Amino acid sequence: MSPLQDINPLDPGLPLDPLPGHSSRGRLERVLRRGEFAVTAELNPPDSANPQDVYDRAAVFDGWVDGINAVDASGANAHMSSVGICALLTRMGYAPIMQISCRDKNRIAIQGDVLGASAMGVQNILCLTGDGVQTGDQPGAKPVFDLDSMSLLETIRTMRDEAKFLSGRKLTTPPTVFLGAAINPFVPPFEFRPLHFAKKIRAGAQFVQSQYCYDVARLRDFMIRVRDMGLDEQCFILVGVGPLASAKTARWMANNVPGVHIPDAVIKRIEGAADQKAEGKRLCIDIINEVKEIAGVHGVHVMAYRQEEYVAEIVHESGVLKGRKPWQREARADEPGLVERMEALRQRGPVSPEKMAERAATSA
Ligand SMILES: Cc1cc2nc3c(=O)[nH]c(=O)nc-3n(C[C@H](O)[C@H](O)[C@H](O)COP(=O)(O)OP(=O)(O)OC[C@H]3O[C@@H](n4cnc5c(N)ncnc54)[C@H](O)[C@@H]3O)c2cc1C
């Protein structure tokens, strides 16, 4: 299949033609339904109001991923909103996966965001309950949790498939979205995890992205149960992976990020390496290579926090795309200088805040 099918000829930012059996008009659903191994990546949300920060961070994924996740105040820390990031990403033609956490907004605000996002061209939404406020740097914030991941999935599915709000009031144009959720096979209670996953499918999840996988044996056990229950036939499964920058970072994550499990053997492997960063990257590639062979796994979700510039290398070296080239941003005629800037970014990785300030000062 030609990737040209995944581009709207009028503008890459516009939704694609609807296809039978598809819920969205986006590239990610097309790739998965064609049976291709999908790659998504998480964008580190800027603590800034500068759109260029989003463009720069997205550019390093160019041509390597099928979707870019815009997180919603993950870890209960404020950053640029997922709605804002998605608005910028759709403007550039990228395929964002808008994450919605139920912690900060009630059902009225969320339903409005879903319509707004779909109108902007967002075709994928990841439904999360969200981390509790106590995990973030403003623990005094008021938690909302009017909905949770299940009722959020049901709400958006109702809006999409029945063209109505939760109240029953009609929508004139329903959102066209591919619905996702999170799973975590890596922490107890293990026997409950596949059941929780099945519940999310019943609520409307069409794809899931997992928490970081550093324990492939545990994933294999989970997938045996998932296949027995036929869940891999009902939902696309993308396994979360990410490079660890050092043994110190790994220990910090294992102790401080809720839901992250990193076996001691993994930490020791990184600790024993002369170049810990390179070993962390190697480990991530090794995990991808093991994960892609597990029956029922449909893709990987790369969360390379503050190491996003390595995503292309990791995807390339793991060979998961098997020569397939995901959509790549191209400059339009009305965007002079963009090709040059994108090329520079690809060579250098993300632009540092100091560099941004320097650039702003010289262009002023
Ligand atoms: C890919 C990915 C992206 C994420 N992005 C964000 C983000 O943008 N913003 C953010 O705030 N957080 C984010 N998180 C963190 C996530 O919200 C938390 O890890 C959460 O604890 C689990 O995911 P969920 O929100 O879907 O919770 P749910 O699966 O809805 O569950 C909420 C909590 O309740 C527990 N639980 C629910 N039902 C039961 C039961 N019957 N028995 C026992 N326990 C139960 C679950 O185990 C979980 O701890 C992300 C996680 C992943 C994996």
Ligand 1 pocket residues where CB is under 6 Å: 71-74, 76, 99, 101, 103, 128-131, 148-149, 181-182, 184, 192, 209-211, 240, 258-259
pLDDT of 351: 43
Asked whether the predicted pLDDT for residue 1 surpasses 70, the reply is no
Burial of residue 135, with CB atoms counted within 10 A of its CB: 0-12 exposed, 13-18 middle, 19 or more buried: middle
Question: Residue 309: CB partners within 8 Å, gap ≥ 6?
Answer: 60, 348, 349, 350
The residue-averaged pLDDT of 22-32 equals 96
Report how far ligand 1's centroid is from the alpha carbon of 351 (Å).
Answer: 32
The residue-averaged pLDDT of 268-274 equals 97
pLDDT of 329: 81
pLDDT of 356: 41
pLDDT of 361: 44
Asked whether the predicted pLDDT for residue 319 surpasses 60, the reply is yes
Outline where DSSP puts E strands in the chain: 38-43, 67-70, 96-101, 124-128, 178-183, 207-212, 236-241, 299-302
CATH code (residue 202): 3.20.20.220
Containing domain of residue 66, as a range? 3-363
- In this structure, of 13-22, 100-109, 233-242, 330-339, the range with the lowest mean pLDDT score is 330-339
- In one-letter notation, the amino acid at residue 82 is S
Report how far ligand 1's centroid is from the alpha carbon of 259 (Å).
Answer: 8
Would you call the peptide bond into 15 cis, given omega within 30 degrees of 0 as the criterion?
no
Q: From the alpha carbon of 148, which atom of ligand 1 is closest?
A: 30
At residue 258 the predicted structure's pLDDT band, cuts being 50, 70 and 90, is confident
Q: What total of structural domains would you count in the chain? A: 1
pLDDT of 9: 73
Report how far ligand 1's centroid is from the alpha carbon of 354 (Å).
Answer: 35
Q: What is the pLDDT of residues 186-215, one digit of tens each?
A: 999 999 999 999 999 999 999 999 999 999
| Gap between the Cα atoms of 325 and 63, Å rounded | 6
The average confidence (pLDDT) of the chain is 91
